[in-house]
Each structure stands twice: as structure tokens, then as C-alpha cells.
Amino acid sequence: MASRLRVGEKIGIGFGVVALVFLGVVWHDQLALRALIEDYRYLSGVVGARQTQSFVIESRLAAMREAAERFLVSRDSLLPDRVRAEGAELGAALAELGGIDTVSVRTVDLLSGLTRDFLDRFSRIEAAWRLKGFDENSGLQGAFRDTAHELEQRAVRELPQLQSQVLQLRRREKDYLLRGDDEYVRMVEGIAAALIISIDASPLAPEARARLADLVRDYGRNFAALVEQDRLIAGLTEEMDRAADRIGPLVERNLAEAEAFMDRSSARFDALSAERARLALSVAVGATLFGLVFAVLVTGRIVRPVRRMAELLDRMTHENPAERVQAPADPRDEIMAMAVSLNTLADHKATFHHWWRDSMREAIALRDAHLAGSRIEREEALTELRAALGGKIHTLESLRSVLQRECDRMLEAAERLGRDRPQSSEDVLTLRRAAGTLRELLEVLKSG
């Protein structure tokens, strides 16, 4: 196949193959670069976003819990709205985290449920505090305070001897409000019961005793309601704290998982990038080596016959070599065509040399036969003459073989022309007849 190509075609094919190889290298590099970009896009858009949202969730949770704790301490009426706003922001961050990938969906569902539970309990705590009163002048605290002041004023005014009991009652009441211990509740209840007994035994008029006793009972009912509300708030606060305590570890675990996933993904992408870089370098080196080898092979296909022709020409200047440059009979390659021409030139030189040598032998043999002085010398001259004539016949036979091959080629060319150019049938017929006649003459010479 290579011998059917011209030199320019070989060079063009060589450059084309090398160009295709380097285009393949560029294409491979682009694929590797695109894959690298996609990996880091995933790292930034999914893994990085997941880590960022985990930080946002942790921040929103801390802000929500801080606002709730500040409300429990200060009972600021503006803080519940702040808690709900932070809870809404936390819910939005959780929803955005759930939309990033499917890995965090289960964690997001758990956190969303716990966040709703936390906000529900906080709302109940807020309602309980509103009922109790954000300060001592509102809600149950205001009603209890009014009742306590009225009881203290009337008892001191109507029964001065009960002032110590009333003061002791108020003292235990304040101890409870300050410390929240149930022991003071029982003390208040005991003092209130003793106070009612003292009122019933007092010298006041029955109606006055009844009103004062009812006032003590109202005080007791308001105090009991206040205590019950405190217990309700304490229970709700404990439930809210438990919900918050469940949220915290989940958020911290999610953040830790996001950071660990970020580290693993970064390490994996770094390893993939290094591996792709090594592969790209290997492909580039391999392509370069392939290009060099291919260029050497193509150049060798061109240079090797030229070197052989140069060697043959150099030998032809000093001798008559029998070797020939290997070449096809009908090449398209200019180098191979030159090789065929050189082989023909060498054949012609060899034919001339052989014919000249045999002719000189023939002339010398005729001279020796003519000048022979004895029968033996004449026989030797005739033997040399026969050898010289045999060499000339062999040369003529070689020429006849060459002419026979040329006749065959002429007939093949005539057949091709007859198929390819039917309009030139007369010329083709003339060529075919001439070749056939020449073949017959050569056959006659061979048989003669």
C-alpha cells in the first residue's frame, strides 16, 4: 500500500496522522479539564453549599434558642416574635439544605419536626406567661398582687393582732416567688388556713369576718392558680429544653458530616485531579513518541530506497553489480519509479557489458583460431568461441524475455483501455495487434 503512494502523499499522510494524534491529545485534555470542572462544580455547588447551609442552620438555631432563653429571663413581649422569625429562617435553611442533595433529606426531616415541636412548646410557654402575666401588674400576678395588698390592708386595719400572721404569709409568698420551692407553698397554705381560723375566732362582726375570710380564700385560690401556672410553665420549659437538646446534637452532627464530606470530597477530587494530570502527561508523552516513531517510519520509507539507489549508483561506477533496488513493477511513488528506472539502467549496463565481453571473447577466439599453429590450439580457440557465442545467445534470450514481458504489459494496457475508453477501440485494436504480432515473433525466435 505504501509503495502505491507518491512522496507528497506519504508526507501529507504523515503530517496528517501526527496532527490527528495531537488533536486527540488536545481532545483528551479538554475532556479531562471538563471532568475536573464538573467535579469542582459539584464540590462547590453541592458539598460546599451543604457545609454552608449547615453553618447557617447552626447559627439560626443558636439565635432561636438565645431569643427563647432571653424571653424566659426578661419576659420581653417583643422576643416571641423574634423567636418565631428565627424559627422561620431556620425552617427556610433546612428546606434549602434538603433541596441541595438527597443525602441530607432524612436529617432535614428530623430537624424540621424537632423545630416545629420546639416552636409549638415555646408558643404554649408564651401563652402560659401571658396568662400568668409578663410583670407583677398583669395577668394572674396582677390579680394575686391586688388580692394580697387588699388582704394586708384590711387585716391590719380590722384585726391588728393578725399583722404578724399576714406578714409571715407575705414573707413565705415572696420566698416562693423568689425560690420556687414547693415547701413554701405548703407554708403559705398552712398560714392561710390558720389565718382563717384566727379570723373566725376574732370579735369582728359576722359579716366582717366572712368578708375577711373570703378575701383570704381568694388570696389562696389566686396563689394556687399562680403556683399551678408556674408548674405548667416549668413543665413546658423542660419539654422545650428537651426538644432543643435533641436539635443541637443533630445540627452538630449534620455540620460534622458536612465538614467530613467536604474533606473526603476534596481529597478524592485532588486525587482524581492528580491522576488525570498524570494520565494527560502520559497521553502527551505517548502521542509525542508515537509521532516521532511514525515520522521516522515515514521518513525511512522515503529515505531507505534513496540510500539503496545511491549505493547501487556508486557501485555501478566501479563494477557491474547483480543486485537491484526492490520496487514494484508499476509504482506510483516517485522514488519507486526512480528505482525502476535505475534498475532498468543497471540491466541495460549489464546487458551492454555482457554483450561487449562476449563480443571481445568472440573476436579473440576468431583471432586465435586463425593464428593457431596446431590442432590443439585450434580446438581451444573454437571452444572459447562457442562459449562466447553461448553468452551472446544467453544475453539475447534475456532481452527476448524482457520484450516478452513488455508485450504482456502492452496487452494488459490494451485490455484496460478497451474497458475504460470504448471510444478508442480502433487504437486499442491496433495496439493489441501490434503486441500480439511482436509476441508471435518472439515465440518464433524462442523456438528457432
State the average pLDDT over residues 163-179: 82
187 and 39 part of one domain = no
126 and 274 part of one domain = yes
Q: Exposure pattern of 304-323 as b/e (b: 16+ CB <10 Å)?
A: ebeebbeebeeeeeeeeeee
Contact by Cβ (8 Å): 385, 362: yes
10 and 123 part of one domain = yes
Q: pLDDT at position 113, please? A: 84
Contact by Cβ (8 Å): 159, 212: yes
220 and 128 part of one domain = no
354 and 413 part of one domain = yes
Contact by Cβ (8 Å): 226, 144: yes
Contact by Cβ (8 Å): 432, 411: yes
159 and 175 part of one domain = yes
Separation of alpha carbons 326 and 419, rounded Å? 31
267 and 404 part of one domain = no
Q: pLDDT at position 276, please? A: 67
Count the neighbouring beta carbons within 10 Å of the beta carbon of residue 195: 23
Higher-pLDDT residue of 327, 382: 382
pLDDT at 279 over 80: no
Instruction: Write down the mean pLDDT value for the chain.
Output: 77
Put residue 180 in one of left, alpha, beta given phi > 0 → left and psi -120 to 50 → alpha.
Answer: left
Q: Is 405 domain-assigned?
A: yes
pLDDT at 3 over 60: no
Q: pLDDT at position 207, please? A: 85
Q: pLDDT at position 283, please? A: 72
Q: Is 226 domain-assigned?
A: yes
Q: List the grid coordinates of 369.
A: 583460431
Q: pLDDT at position 267, please? A: 78
Q: Is 125 domain-assigned?
A: yes
Q: Is 314 domain-assigned?
A: no
151 and 264 part of one domain = no
Q: List the grid coordinates of 89.
A: 429562617
215 and 267 part of one domain = no
Q: Is 303 domain-assigned?
A: no
Q: Is 58 domain-assigned?
A: yes
Q: What percent of the chain has pLDDT over 90?
A: 0
Per-residue pLDDT tens digits for 21-38: 777 777 777 777 777 677
Coil, strand or helix: which one is 125?
A: helix
Per-residue pLDDT tens digits for 130-144: 887 777 777 777 787
Q: pLDDT at position 224, please? A: 86
From 135, 130, 122, select the one nearest 82 (Cα to Cα).
122
Q: Give the end of a domain, one of 234, 267, 298.
A: 234
30 and 83 part of one domain = yes
Q: pLDDT at position 427, please? A: 67
Q: Is 242 domain-assigned?
A: no
435 and 359 part of one domain = yes
The total of structural domains in the chain comes to 3
Q: Is 291 domain-assigned?
A: no
Per-residue pLDDT tens digits for 394-446: 777 777 777 777 777 777 777 777 677 666 666 667 766 776 776 666 666 66
Contact by Cβ (8 Å): 352, 398: no
Gap between the terminal Cα atoms of the chain: 42
Distance of alpha carbon 138 from the chain centroid: 65
Per-residue pLDDT tens digits for 322-375: 787 777 766 667 777 777 787 778 777 777 777 787 788 778 878 877 787 788
Amino acid at 130: R
Q: pLDDT at position 351, please? A: 76
Separation of alpha carbons 302 and 387, rounded Å? 44
At 77, give phi and psi (nearest 5°): -70, -15
State the residue range of the domain holding 143.
139-234
Q: pLDDT at position 311, please? A: 81
Listed ranges 121-125, 177-181, 271-275, 300-304; the one with the highest mean pLDDT: 121-125
189 and 214 part of one domain = yes
